[in-house]
Structure formats: structure tokens, C-alpha cells
Amino acid sequence: MNSFSRYDNSMAFLAKVDDDWAGLIELVGPCRHDPKAAREPYEALVRAIAYQQLTAKAGDAIIGRLKALFEDRDFPRPEELIAADFDAMRACGFSASKIATIKAIAEGALTGIVPSREDAVVMDDETLIKQMIIIKGVGRWTVEMLLMYSLERMDVLPVDDFGVREGYRALKSLAEQPKPKELRKISEAWSPHRTVAAWYLWRMPRERGNVLK
């Protein structure tokens, strides 16, 4: 059984929303959303910060250099990141603000603000978001990436994400992107499949005008 077949129901649901959604799904093909469910929330948050405003290739390189600072580790432990040398982390490619946020996440993992995976799986989305955005530098988008890619939540739409809003603008041939609050309201019609909806919106061609027609 194809591991991506679990998205078949979501694809069928979204294709019935309207002709634009049907056209986008036909153009892009089957959903290939690929969460990394084995990761602890702590690691997922650190990775999300590392990849912010970067290409996947650049983010991979930075994470690779960070892991190289800690031999024989799949990923550094929170106490190791707290103690990590600032200049060494800068040399990995992190900005000063990202270093501060990563160290704050590590501290949060030790104090319980960042829950273990075992605890996180029984917490609802909004509870997790409200608990973790108290960490300086961690916003709603960062936690939403954790929900989508580490906890495999299926009804998350990161409405603050430029790519999601731009994808919807292009899908509907709008003159400008919808505001986050407006898109959140619109997306209620896509529930409970908004994670898959986000995956497709990220892949919507961005030319002006509806390229699906």
C-alpha cells in the first residue's frame, strides 16, 4: 500500500470544493506531504527556526553543520545547545536572533514549556500553540510547522505563511493576497483537511491569472 494513499480522502474532499481546487489537484498530482513523525517537538522547533526564510537546501546545510558540532549525536540535546558557543553557532550559519531563539527553545524543553512527544500527542492544536509561543522568537507559524510535520496533524493551515496566501491568491486570480484572518475564515470550508490544502497551495503556480483555466 502506497504510504501517501492516506491522503486520498483529503484530495477527494478538496477536489469537490470547487473547480479551481479540482484543477490544482489534477495539475499537481497526488499529495506527497511527508511528515517526520519520529522527531521530538524540541527538535522539530529547532529545525523550524533553522529553516525560517531559507531554502530547504540552505536549511539542510545549516542543520548539518550544527549536528557536526556534537559528535556521535543524531541531534544535540537541549543542555548541549544551551551551552553551545555563540561563535560556533554563528559559523553554522545562524543569525544572532535565531541563536537566541534556539537556546530559548532548549531551555523550554528542560522546563516543560516544550512538551515531550508523548505529552504533545494528547494535547490539542491551540493548547500547544498557546503554550509554546510564550518562548521569545517562537511564533504561531513555527508551532504550526511542528503540528504538520512532527505531530502529523491533518487540519492545520498556516495562514501567516506567505506561500499559502500567495498560493490562494493565484488559485483564485485575486489582485492581492487575502489577509490571514480572512483566509482562516475561508479555510473553514476545507476542514478537516487543511494540512493537505496547505501542501497544495504551496505548489500552486504563481503566475498572474489563473493558470488552471
Query: Which residues carry out catalysis?
Result: 161
**Dihedral of CA 150/7/203/198: which sign?**
negative
Query: Beta-carbon neighbour count of residue 140 at 10 Å?
Result: 16
Query: Which residues have a Cβ under 8 Å from the Cβ of 111 and sit 6 or more positions away?
Result: none
Nearest to 109 by CA among 76, 148, 153, 84: 76
Kindly give, in sequence order, each residue whose CB lies less than 8 Å from that of residue 46, ignoring residues fewer than 6 positions away.
75, 81, 102, 105, 106
Q: Are 138 and 45 in contact (CB under 8 A)?
A: yes
